[in-house]
Amino acid sequence: MSAPIKILRALADPTRLRIIALLERDELSVKEIQEITRLAQSRISTHLGLLQELGLVQSRRDGKHTFYRLLEQRDRTVRDAVQLAFRVAHQLPEYNDDQLSLRRILARRRAQEQVYFDQIAGRFDRVYGPGRSWQAFGQLLLRILPPLVVADLGSGEGLLSELLARRCKKVIAVDNSEKIVAFGTAKAKKIGLKNLEFRLGDLQDPPIEPSSVDVVILSQALHHAEDPAKAIANSYKILRRGGQIMILDLLKHKFTKAHELYGDRWLGFTECELQRWLEAAGFKNIEISIVAREEQPPHFATVLACGQK
């Protein structure tokens, strides 16, 4: 069988088309391709091995990771076949989501400070030190907050709002429960937090003036929203120019009992869904990363998504 025929047969496979389309812009590691496609690593490696054998991709080692990139083709027939593969790949149902995830991963590469934080976080629990705790670090970080106006949407009883109000200029806590708003208001008055205001309302359409806050926080609240995209879009409206949204929520999971046990409307979200909604709302400088994983079943993972207006 001639080489062009082998290449055409190889590029007829939908999974290999997805991989080719991902490598069109930049080189990627096996781990990054796996994160984007959600396919098994062994399956990805098999496809990449075949593409490399046919001279379509090239690999290089960098520490523990192997990166793959497309090879520039001199043979016109092969070059035309690859261009056709790109056009066909654009029609695949996974293409748009793959490209969203690709943008997120490439942006994450550029965020070196996030990489550094991950390295610190990875070391933190391995070496014991008296007095070293995330609680202590949290209190330290709270004290260097600038005088911001913060909207805590879906605040619940307001634990986070209360902590932020001790340092921020003003915190507006929004919840749809009259009892919770009454409780939070009474507690804020009791402990003397005059800059903490509870408001009754829906996080999808918060009762806050447009362009009036510096930060919007949705902490484990978005999975209770009927329309998460609308909540993010309206968060954009209440932010000042340059303001930031911070979403802390569950990564997509399969623990269906969460509907009954916790009243969750959504079983978490994929990074791709969050990226799409943030982009559609108009946010820039979007960063999305998994910041915690539970060791016990059902192994919930927490994702942090940030964006700037």
Residues of the chain with pLDDT under 70: 1-2, 111-129, 131-132, 134
Q: Which residue from 25, 15, 223 is spatially nearest to 105, judged by alpha carbons? A: 25
**Angle (nearest 5°) at CA 307 between 303 and 309:** 160
> Based on the domain organization, do 135 and 225 belong to the same domain?
yes
Task: Tell me if 229 is assigned to some domain.
Answer: yes
- Percent of the chain with pLDDT strictly greater than 90: 68
Pair of tokens at residue 194: 């005059």
With b for 16 or more beta-carbon neighbours within 10 A and e for fewer, the 144-163 pattern comes to eeeebbbbbbbbbbbebbbe
CATH at residue 126: 3.40.50.150
Residues 140 and 288 in one domain: yes
pTM of the shown model: 0.73
- For residue range 108-161, list pLDDT tens digits in order: 777 655 555 665 565 655 655 676 676 777 777 777 878 899 999 999 989 999
Whether 106 maps to a domain, the answer reads no
Residue 288 lies in a domain: yes
Say if residue 70 is in the same domain as residue 134: no
Domain count, the chain: 2
* Assigned token pair, 246: 């911070």
Asked if the structure places residue 105 within a domain, the reply is: no
107, part of any domain:
no
**Structural domain of 28:** 3-93
Residue 104 inside a domain? The answer is no
How far is residue 48's CA from residue 50's CA, in Å, rounded to a whole number? Answer: 5
Q: Please list, in sequence order, all residues whose beta carbon lies within 8 angstroms of the beta carbon of residue 207, skipping any fewer than 6 positions away.
A: 174, 199, 200, 201
236 and 293 part of one domain: yes
Chain segment 71-104, per-residue pLDDT in tens:
988 788 888 888 998 999 999 999 999 999 998 8
